[in-house]
């Protein structure tokens, strides 16, 4: 695994390999030492979970981590991002963890030839892909349910602008899950084959094993958003959340918009922080495999 760009390029065996390796890291039965590896985070969009858990993961496998700060870099003097990364390879960087609003940038970069070999890990590209989030969500779900076949997950909210939902749908479809979307029509996005779409919360939640709420991506939406309509019809509350539902959210949560605040105190919502915790083990596994592909 030289790069991790999207879920489409992973087989189910690849995904299980990442899952198993993450399990071993969590149990403490695998130790890795990548002391000769140099990894840069390049985040052009805000992040808490992804960036910090990659940093934690790199520390735990003894890789050297560097934070590229776009605002103080020579990108501000007009340098092209390809030239910037090419110089990072010359300095000795072996991998870049990239988050960018451009849907295609990380894919395009992974297909370029650089001064020295370099791996790319997609930490979120536009509204298209967030593969490491989908892998940690898979890890969280599989640890709980073991067999995912015919389990039903409902994504609630702004699927149209959610890279998390899109990567999750591709991944969970590979494992035979039933996929539902509950959202107002303007948040449903282009309909995906094999996914059932709902505008009625009770209908969508009936028979759902997992409910994954999504943040409304205000930064990607130009049009007026009717929050009152959304809250009245799609907000997850104590009253409408099925008793046994496994409640997930990739974060950040906008309290009292997609989920009512008091729901976050329920046992169901502990999953949300478990997702963040599991992100460390899954990102350890991803970094471990990517760095090993370069013999580091
Ligand atoms: N889920 C997720 O990507 O969170 P951050 O934006 O905080 O990294």
Compute the distance between CA of residue 206 and CA of residue 244 in angstroms, rounded to an integer.
Answer: 12
pLDDT at 158: 96
Would you state the pLDDT for residue 203?
A: 97
Q: What pLDDT is recorded for position 217?
A: 84
- CA–CA gap between residue 4 and residue 123 (Å, rounded): 9
The pLDDT of residue 174 is 97
Return the ligand 1 atom nearest residue 130 CA.
Answer: 3
Give the class (CATH, top level) of 12-130+278-292: alpha beta
Any ligand 1 atom below 6 A from CB of 47: yes
Give me the DSSP letters along 194-249: TEEEES-HHHHHTT-SEEEE----GGG--S---HHHHHHHH-B-TTTS-TT-EEE-
- Looking from the CA of residue 123, the nearest atom of ligand 1 is 3
The phi, psi pair for 170, rounded to 5°, reads -60, -45
- Ligand 1 centroid to Cα of residue 58, in Å, is 17
Q: How far is CA 159 from CA 181, 202, 216, 288, in A?
A: 8, 18, 9, 31
Taking the C-alpha atoms of residue 6 and residue 107, their distance in angstroms, rounded to an integer, is 9
Ligand 1 contact via 207 beta carbon (within 6 Å): no
Q: Ligand 1: does its nearest atom lie under 6 Å from the Cβ of 240? A: no
| Class level of CATH domain 131-275 | alpha beta
Residue 222: what pLDDT? 81
| CA-124 nearest atom, ligand 1 | 3
**Per-residue model confidence (pLDDT) at position 65:** 98
119 touches ligand 1 (CB under 6 Å): no
Ranges in the chain annotated CATH 3.40.50.1370: 12-130+278-292, 131-275
Q: What pLDDT sits at residue 221?
A: 81
Give ∠ CA 205-209-212 in degrees, rounded to 5. 70
Q: What is the pLDDT of residue 223?
A: 86
Tokens of 179: 């996929």
Q: Using one digit for the tens of pLDDT, what is the confidence trace for 181-224?
A: 999 999 999 999 999 999 999 999 999 999 999 999 888 888 88
Spatial distance between the Cα atoms of 139 and 276, rounded to a whole number of angstroms: 11
252 lines ligand 1 (CB under 6 A): yes
| Other Cβ atoms closer than 10 A to 98 | 25
Cα 115 to averaged position of ligand 1 atoms, centre (Å)? 31
**What does the alpha-carbon distance between residue 13 and residue 22 come to, in Å, rounded to a whole number?**
14
Protein residue with its CA nearest to atom 4 in ligand 1: 49
Q: Which residues of the chain have pLDDT under 70?
A: none
């Amino acid at each position: 695994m030289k790069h991790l760009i999207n879920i489409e390029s992973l087989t189910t065996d690849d995904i299980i390999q990442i899952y198993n390796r993450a399990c071993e890291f969590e149990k403490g039965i695998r130790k890795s030492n990548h002391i000769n590896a140099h990894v840069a985070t390049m985040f052009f969009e805000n992040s808490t979970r992804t960036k910090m858990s990659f940093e934690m993961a790199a520390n735990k496998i003894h890789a050297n981590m560097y934070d590229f700060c776009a605002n103080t870099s020579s990108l501000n003097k007009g340098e092209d991002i390809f030239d910037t990364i090419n110089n990072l390879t010359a300095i000795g960087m072996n991998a870049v963890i990239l988050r960018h609003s451009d849907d295609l940038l990380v894919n395009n970069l992974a297909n370029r030839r650089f001064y020295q070999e370099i791996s790319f890990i997609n930490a979120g590209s536009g509204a298209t892909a967030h593969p490491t989030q989908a892998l940690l969500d898979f890890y969280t779900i599989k640890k709980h349910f073991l067999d995912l076949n015919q389990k039903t997950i409902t994504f609630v909210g702004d699927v149209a602008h959610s890279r998390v939902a899109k990567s999750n749908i591709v991944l969970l479809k590979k494992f035979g899950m039933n996929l539902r979307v509950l959202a107002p029509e303007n948040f449903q996005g282009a309909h995906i084959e094999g996914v059932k779409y709902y505008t009625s919360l009770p209908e969508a939640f009936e028979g759902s094993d997992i409910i994954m709420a999504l943040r409304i991506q205000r930064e990607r939406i130009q049009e007026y958003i009717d929050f009152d309509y959304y809250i009245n019809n799609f907000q997850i509350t104590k009253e409408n959340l099925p008793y046994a539902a496994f409640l997930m959210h990739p974060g950040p949560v906008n309290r009292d918009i997609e989920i009512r605040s008091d729901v976050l105190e329920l046992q169901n919502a502990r999953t949300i922080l478990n997702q963040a915790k599991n992100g460390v083990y899954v990102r350890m596994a991803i970094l471990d495999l990517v760095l090993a592909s370069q013999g580091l």
